[in-house]
Amino acid sequence: MLVGVGLGPGDPELLTLRAVRYLREADAVFVPGKLADDLVRPYRPDAVTLEFPMTSDEEEIRACLECNADRIAPAAKEGCAVFGIVGDPNFYSTFSRLCETIRYRYPDIRVATVPGISSITAFASVANVPVAGGFVVSDGREPEARIIMKVRRPAEMAAALRAEGFFEFVLVERMYMEGQRVYRDDDLPEESDYFSVLFARRSHG
């Protein structure tokens, strides 16, 4: 199994308890650079640092991902391998592309993630900027997805979003709480709990 573990925005005190537990209990730990290595070092001095070049050369990136996937695969097949990454492993992360390569080359390896405090939420604390309304996060490209909180009528909202070109929907209700449920696409309920988050992805067509 391969677990992407979020290490937070860079402060060692902002690692979650779950992140620390996975680092301590993993059979092997891998990191993508010095900052991540510094964060995991107190718990795993044996962590392996992998190279991920900062380049726009897609061929070089692909070759690097394949090489790193091959290094991680033996540990992930035999036990639990952790890939510790600054921020959150699912938000603008090297881990997402690494997973694509792992799934293609080693489809038998299960993949999971442990969330970390991302720069998106950490920014508000550092800048002392409270956020209460809707906002857009982008890496410079046109946003392809929406994340909507406190969705009380998800099926109705999904129908409205389909008219705008959205086609993929995931609703998470009461996440990490008792009674957690995950719904997808046409399985969305008419009503949901106050603690609900709806993810919608737009079609590129």
How high is the pLDDT of residue 89?
Answer: 96
Per-residue pLDDT of 156-171, as tens digits, reads 999 999 999 999 999 9
Q: Is 80 exceeded by the pLDDT of residue 205?
A: no
Q: What is the pTM of this model?
A: 0.89
CA distance 69 to 78: 14
How high is the pLDDT of residue 53?
Answer: 84
How high is the pLDDT of residue 139?
Answer: 87
Per-residue pLDDT of 57-107, as tens digits, reads 899 999 999 999 999 999 999 999 999 999 999 999 999 999 999 999 999
How high is the pLDDT of residue 54?
Answer: 83
Per-residue pLDDT of 13-58, as tens digits, reads 999 999 999 999 999 999 999 999 999 999 999 999 999 988 888 9
Task: Tell me the average pLDDT across 182-194.
Answer: 95
Inter-CA distances, 59 with 56, 65, 133, 142, Å? 9, 10, 41, 24
Q: Select the more confidently predicted residue: 146 or 204.
A: 146
How high is the pLDDT of residue 204?
Answer: 57
pLDDT band at 194 (very low <50, low <70, confident <90, very high): very high
Q: Is 60 exceeded by the pLDDT of residue 117?
A: yes
